[in-house]
Structure 1
Amino acid sequence: MKNKAEYYSQQYNARAMIPDHPYIFTRWLKDSAQARRTHAALFDLPYGEASGERLDFFPTYRGDAPLLVFIHGGWWRSLDKSDFSFIAPAYTRAGINVALTNYTLAPEASIAEIVLQQLRALAWLYRNAEKYDFDPKRIVVAGHSAGAHLAAMMMAAMWPVFGDDLPADLVKGGVLLSGVYDLEPVRHADFVNVDLKLGEDDIAPLSPYRMPQSHAARFITAFGGHESEEFGRQTALIANAWKQNHVVDVALPEANHLTICDAFATPGHALQQETIKLIEATA
């Protein structure tokens, strides 16, 4: 029997389980550069004071359309919104605006600080809906891996406490991809907690599955068939904790922890179609 630290480090080190991960990241970079060259977009819009508090906005072809906000993963300590521009075209072509948010990476920022930055990003978007011509009553948040944790935290946020001009139901829906919703195992995964510095007292305030949703926002989940048992367990945790609003878990038997993002970005894929269905249902 492996000790706890060894077990969780093995279970959560997704890149170690994907030998061709450098190729996947390179492909994402190329596809994202292509998306930025060929699609209208506004880059590095500041939603706060820190250098990491920036977002990219990809408008769709029609006015007053819904907004999909995508939060990237990377264990809160790596990657960038620009790595995920390739996601936008599948949704802008379907009549949905897309915003991709950045945040200050760990260890420069703690997870608690990163959560606050994402609260600021969504509040900024809501307050600037008229300027960027999207419907503030139809904001759906999506995230991958650590980004799915942050997306879930947005679904648990008490928005009127954060700003008295913000509605309780600011987030109308969620798409949670291969996320981590209980941080207890993460603090035992040495390969990442060296940067995150999670302690026992951090777990409850930062684990969305231990919180109620702040309002009845419907959401979908997904994780890849080639992911570790822990990512499956984490997905089941949030689906069960918030089961009254869980729409579907999309089966992705061929996907790993990274290629799930390709499925999300592929027009006509079941995951992309379920996401569009969820967004359209917010009308």
Structure 2
Amino acid sequence: MELDDAYANAAYIDGAEAYPDKWAGLAATFRERTTCEIDLPYGERERERFDLFHPRRLAKGVVIFVHGGYWLRFDKSYWSHLAAGPLAHGWAVAMPSYDLCPNVRITDIGQQIARAIDVIAARVPGPVRLTGHSAGGQLVARLAHLDRVENVVPISPVADIAPLMKTSMNKDLRIDKAEARAESPMHLPVPKLPATVWVGAEERPVFLEQAEALAKRWDAAHVVEPGLHHFNVVEGLADPQSPLTMTVVS
């Protein structure tokens, strides 16, 4: 398809095939040594579950991280280690799974994550901060208007999903013009809260362009982190002192 190469991340990252196993291993190890609750329900469906990581003291609030994978891949179990940064600053961290396309559509996933946010916010007192990567960046940007959300940090977000109609992924995503308009943060009202759009300097041009466009649309802070690509740009969340973690928790 016309834009397949533009949205192909793995083809341009050395050792890309090793990343999923690396993520899963780091996440599993982190869960073993952290106070956490696994597979808490936010709905009736099998994948409507979230993991909740607790800091050592009373939580300041909750950071919700929504994973990516083009709405087609992964679940919460790959990303647990990314809770380390916010946890060190006294924030609880919640990570939801969601149903994947083609079993559902992007609109349905957005509704699932909205329910997850409501359930998580009811469980953890205090403010809610949202961050998510790639497709997860689209989802948190889409839901920045929800109650108690006080800060949002989309990481490498797919801020306009319309171009994906020109990729082979759309056989499973099934995006049409109406959904592209309704679910693309670029075309929605600007959230009235602090926001930072984050992206790696070594990402594919389309992700750099979409991050810049969303930051301009929102009049938000825009960070292009040197030396990072689409697969390692989220790793800062595992480091309590990284610029990304500090942006999420400050």
Question: For the Cα contact (< 8 Å) 2:131–2:248, is it kept in 1?
Answer: no
Task: Compute the displacement of 1:250 (Å).
Answer: 2.3
Structure 2: distance between partners of 1:46 and 1:270: 32
Question: Greater CA deviation, 263-272 or 25-34?
Answer: 263-272
Task: Compute the displacement of 1:124 (Å).
Answer: 0.9
Q: Which residue of 2 aligns with 1:75?
A: 70
Task: Compute the displacement of 1:201 (Å).
Answer: 2.1
Q: Tell me, what secondary structure is at the counterpart of 2:222? A: strand
Q: If each structure's helix is expressed as a fraction of its own residues, which one has the higher value?
A: 1
Structure 1: distance between partners of 2:85 and 2:123: 23
Structure 2: distance between partners of 1:197 and 1:64: 40
Question: For the Cα contact (< 8 Å) 1:250–1:271, is it kept in 2?
Answer: no
Structure 2: distance between partners of 1:209 and 1:200: 14
For residues 146-176 of structure 1, the C-alpha deviation after alignment (integer angstroms, 9 at most, x for no partner) is 00000001114xx4xxxxxxxxx42111011
Q: State TM-score, norm by structure 1.
A: 0.85
Q: Which one of 250, 258, 261 corresponds to residue 231 of structure 2?
A: 258
Task: Compute the displacement of 1:183 (Å).
Answer: 1.0
Q: Which consecutive residues of structure 1, in runs of 5 or more, have no partner in the other structure?
A: 160-168, 278-283
What amino acid does structure 2 have at the position aligned with 1:189? T
Q: Which consecutive residues of structure 2, in runs of 5 or more, have no partner in the other structure?
A: none
What is the Cα-based RMSD across aligned positions, in Å?
1.3
What amino acid does structure 1 have at the position aligned with 2:136? G
Task: Compute the displacement of 1:267 (Å).
Answer: 2.6
Q: Which residue of 2 aligns with 1:281?
A: none
Structure 2: distance between partners of 1:273 and 1:218: 14
Task: Compute the displacement of 1:64 (Å).
Answer: 4.3
Residue 47 in structure 1 maps to residue 42 in structure 2 = yes
Residue 224 in structure 1 maps to residue 200 in structure 2 = yes
Count the aligned residue pairs. 250
What amino acid does structure 1 have at the position aligned with 2:249? I
Q: Which one of 25, 31, 39 corresponds to residue 36 of structure 1?
A: 31
Q: Which residue of 1 aligns with 2:130?
A: 141
Structure 2: distance between partners of 1:96 and 1:126: 13
Report which of the two structures shows the higher radius of gyration computed on alpha carbons: 1
Q: Which residue of 2 aligns with 1:23?
A: 18
Q: Tell me, what secondary structure is at the counterpart of 2:77? A: helix
For residues 43-98 of structure 1, the C-alpha deviation after alignment (integer angstroms, 9 at most, x for no partner) is 01000011111000001122141110000000001011110001012221221110
Q: Which residue of 2 aligns with 1:109?
A: 104
Structure 2: distance between partners of 1:64 and 1:38: 18
Q: Which residue of 1 aligns with 2:216?
A: 240
